[in-house]
Structure 1
């Protein structure tokens, strides 16, 4: 993000703690609301959305990591990483609030998160989400210029949905 003077605003990216759960839960609702546009998902009767990944990210499993992005005192996004003990890590969930989008925050955040876990990576997104299509292709080219791949995979258990788009790349060791 930039200030009114055009200077880059400090971005903090750190692992979440249990104390961050209420903040991440609120950001999760915004994330799932944004995604509902592309999959037609409705909230649960209590106004929440499915939260299995949220629960997994806070489970303490060595196979998951969660990160909170902040600008000053304001939370601006999060990332959930799974398959940390597998050969290929999965950027399971990635979200930047609308007020911080198209400012470089997303690219800076994804680069830092991926760099914390060098190796092979995959990220899924939907063709129906043009912003995600542009962003994730740019991520692939930024992290692994000319060496990233894209494929379409069926959504498990949901044959009526269009396939997800998956990009794969390798983040080198520092």
Structure 2
């Protein structure tokens, strides 16, 4: 069984290392390049300085298989914030075993909230993954729109009014 574990400040180097792999995986979509040090330039301190950010490591049988970050999008201005899966990665070695699906469902079950999940339009594997997971999780009770201004697909749904399906 997959387990989500909040990332403590003491574990920030672990998350930093995983973000290097994440940036590499997504460089075909983002066009990001390595910095002069041979690493992607990352600034993650806000994860531990701002309560809106909630990073989690994804474990399976004691091994780290990925990470996800939940953002309380408008937490500081709205008493009913939208929660966003901000970043999500399962290491390539562990993909297609259901770990990502299980981690996403656990994240959705953590908070009774309105949710949004976005994908870059060029990232077809992510679009397919999230559509399938959200469709199954919500019983096909979600909306999807394409935001031209962001060049992203956005799925929206709520876990506030009904029991989760998994």
TM range (shorter): 0.7 to 0.9
TM-score calculated relative to the size of structure 1: 0.81
SS of the residue corresponding to residue 32 of structure 2 reads coil
Which residue in the other structure is 1:75 paired with?
64
| 1:118-133 aligned within 5 A | 118-133=112-127
Of 81, 91, 94, the residue aligned with 2:88 is: 94
**Counterpart contact for 1:79–1:92, Cα < 8 Å:** yes
- Distance across 2 between alignment mates of 1:143 and 1:170: 11
SS of the residue corresponding to residue 33 of structure 2 reads coil
Q: Does 1:35 align with 2:26?
A: yes
Segments of structure 2 that go 5 or more residues without pairing to the other structure are none
TM-score calculated relative to the size of structure 2: 0.85
Root-mean-square deviation (CA), in Å? 1.7
SS of the residue corresponding to residue 94 of structure 1 reads strand
Segments of structure 1 that go 5 or more residues without pairing to the other structure are 1-9, 156-162
Which residue in the other structure is 1:15 paired with?
6
- Distance across 2 between alignment mates of 1:67 and 1:18: 12
Of 58, 62, 66, the residue aligned with 2:48 is: 58
Give per-residue Cα distances to partners, 1:74-132, cap 9 Å, x unaligned.
Answer: 21111111126352111110111001111010010011111111111111112212210
- Distance across 1 between alignment mates of 2:20 and 2:84: 21
Deviation at 1:30, TM superposition (A): 0.6
- Distance across 1 between alignment mates of 2:108 and 2:54: 11
**Counterpart contact for 1:67–1:80, Cα < 8 Å:** yes
